[in-house]
Amino acid sequence: MERRVFLFLILTLSFFLFYFYWWNRYSPPQFSKEKNISGERKEKKVEIIPSSTEVLKEVTTDKFVVTYSITGGYIKKILIKPYKETLPFQNIGYSSQDRGKNFKLIQKNDTVILSSDDTVKEFKFKGFLIHLKIKPQKKPEIFFSNSLESNRLSQRFQEVFYKEKTALKRASFFKIKEKRLSTSFLGARSRYYCLVFRSKKDFSSKLIRKKKEILGSLILPSGEIDIYVGPQSLSELKKYGFEEVVSYGMFHGIALILIKILYFFNSFTKNWGLSIILLSTSIYFLLFPFTAKSTKAMKRMQEVQPQIEELRKKYKDNPAKLNKEIIELYREHRVNPLGGCLPLFFQLPVFIALYQVLLRLVELKGANFLWIKDLTSPDRAIPLKIAIPFVGEYINILPLLLVVINLLQQKFTQLPSQDTQQRQMGMFFVVFIGIIFYHFPSGLVLYWLTQNIFTFIYQFRLYRVSFS
């Protein structure tokens, strides 16, 4: 039996190593980026106007570096200055009526004016908000596009949203084929950023997904509309009344509380890494009664395990008698079989909510902590000269520390009565957790590592007392 278990562990581990190697080697899509002759990365753009006939001009504002198309009079792309990243929202304000027109660009402080012979487009910037005014066209039609991101994790969070009456509805990027609607509130969001159109009156709109992008068209009842382009930061969105755009799923309410606590810690630490550690510490002590109850229940289960094995051997041909004897054994030793699991149901909503927050909190982008340069990416502590299957081009230290802590937990929580099979299964799950967390964002791994350190300290004290 032990040989079979060992073979199962080896085959399972080999499967995961092969799977992650295949995922990293072949799975990342290549549609959004390509290399030019010089070897530099070049982003593919939606060719609404042929690039050979298009004239582009950059304008710098307080928050953006905006690339305008002088041929057509619209925003070709936007680079957000605080995060030094080009947004996936492009071709904002393009109109088929202006195709081929040559516009003149004038910048006056926070306002950019594009004018042709019969059309004037005024883009007034106020922070991350753009007020677009078009004249003299009546009910002008404008467009935007949202490209699918190359990172598969980021793709999970791409969606469009719109209001029907007062309810805000959402749809995944991949579920949109073609949709027509009438609304005053429409937009798209990615993992960290969002694009929102808001008008005082309802406008007709159409959304179409073409392969790796969504194209949207809006027919405005008047020539004015507010456009938010920027981070999904509650502090920023509240300034313009767009906070309802942010959603953290089923446990959204818990996530908002966690964000407020995280903001509070960061207000005096001025470091998001330290703030995550303090948040993890606070959550641990808040949920400690559940953790203590769960740990003690699992310890009692371990202690009666040898007696249960004896009962199984004794009554292997009489299941009814076996179940009765096991229940009596539990009563005698005051063991609740579900005692180790039920407390986890109180902790699970907090972990899921925090998982969503740490994966999507834009403030963590580019945030440094110790050797970590970006808390939204793996810690990438040690660069490698060659890429190694599954590991990649860097060694991530935080997941390795997590494995070490879990191994120590296994060592100090194993009872002498445990058989080899149980110990092998425990080792397997330690390695399995390390594999899962290896490519996770370092902010999330830092939180989980802190939790495990406190859990290990408590378990070490508990089991040391019981053995002494």
Check whether residue 240 and residue 274 sit in a common domain: no
The rounded distance, in Å, linking the Cα atoms of 468 and 466 is 6
Check whether residue 228 and residue 338 sit in a common domain: no
Average pLDDT over residues 296-312: 70
In a domain? residue 2: no
Q: What is the pLDDT of residues 147-171, one digit of tens each?
A: 888 777 788 888 888 888 788 888 8
How crowded is residue 16: how many other Cβ atoms within 10 Å of its Cβ? 14
pLDDT of residue 333: 66
Look at the chain and report how many structural domains it folds into. 2
- Asked if residue 42 has pLDDT above 70, the reply is no
Check whether residue 133 and residue 274 sit in a common domain: no
- Asked if residue 79 has pLDDT above 90, the reply is yes
Domain boundary among 188, 219, 247: 247
Q: What average pLDDT does the structure give for the chain? A: 78
Concatenated DSSP letters of 124-185:
EEETTEEEEEEES-SS-EEEEEEEPPS-HHHHTT-EEEEEETTEEEEEEGGG-SEEEEEEEE
Report the percent of the chain where pLDDT is more than 70: 75
Contact 134, 120 (CB under 8 A): yes
pLDDT of residue 31: 32
Q: Which of 51, 74, 165, 58 is nearest to 123 (CA)?
A: 74
Check whether residue 265 and residue 215 sit in a common domain: no
pLDDT of residue 179: 84
Going by the DSSP 8-state scheme, the letter that residue 369 receives in this structure is B
> Which pLDDT band, with edges at 50, 70 and 90, does 28 fall under?
very low
> Which pLDDT band, with edges at 50, 70 and 90, does 464 fall under?
low
Check whether residue 129 and residue 269 sit in a common domain: no
The rounded distance, in Å, linking the Cα atoms of 453 and 9 is 26
Domain boundary among 232, 247, 262: 247
In a domain? residue 26: no
The rounded distance, in Å, linking the Cα atoms of 277 and 268 is 14
pLDDT of residue 349: 82
The rounded distance, in Å, linking the Cα atoms of 442 and 360 is 13
In a domain? residue 332: yes
Q: What is the pLDDT of residues 259-295, one digit of tens each?
A: 989 999 999 999 999 999 999 898 888 877 777 777 7
Which range has the worst mean pLDDT, 166-170, 222-226, 398-402, 434-438? 434-438
How crowded is residue 407: how many other Cβ atoms within 10 Å of its Cβ? 15
Contacts for 456 with CB less than 8 Å, ≥ 6 apart: 405, 408, 409, 412
Domain residues for the domain of 345 are 253-467
In a domain? residue 73: yes
In a domain? residue 21: no
Token pair in block for residue 387: 């890429």
**Regarding beta strands 104-108 and 89-94, do their DSSP bridges make them parallel or antiparallel, or are they unpaired?**
unpaired
Q: What is the pLDDT of residues 92-135, one digit of tens each?
A: 988 888 877 888 888 888 899 998 888 889 999 998 999 999 88
Domain boundary among 186, 215, 247: 247
The rounded distance, in Å, linking the Cα atoms of 24 and 136 is 52
Q: Which of 381, 395, 375 is nearest to 441 (CA)?
A: 375
Check whether residue 137 and residue 187 sit in a common domain: yes
pLDDT of residue 73: 87
In a domain? residue 431: yes
- Asked if residue 33 has pLDDT above 80, the reply is no
Check whether residue 94 and residue 238 sit in a common domain: yes
Q: What is the pLDDT of residues 180-232, one digit of tens each?
A: 888 889 999 988 999 999 988 888 888 888 878 888 888 888 888 899 999 99
In a domain? residue 86: yes
Query: What's the one-letter identity of residue 199?
Result: S
Going by the DSSP 8-state scheme, the letter that residue 438 receives in this structure is T
Check whether residue 263 and residue 224 sit in a common domain: no
Check whether residue 111 and residue 257 sit in a common domain: no
In a domain? residue 172: yes
Check whether residue 397 and residue 451 sit in a common domain: yes
Check whether residue 421 and residue 352 sit in a common domain: yes
Check whether residue 135 and residue 183 sit in a common domain: yes
Q: What is the CATH number of the domain that holds 140?
A: 2.70.98.90
Global pTM value: 0.74
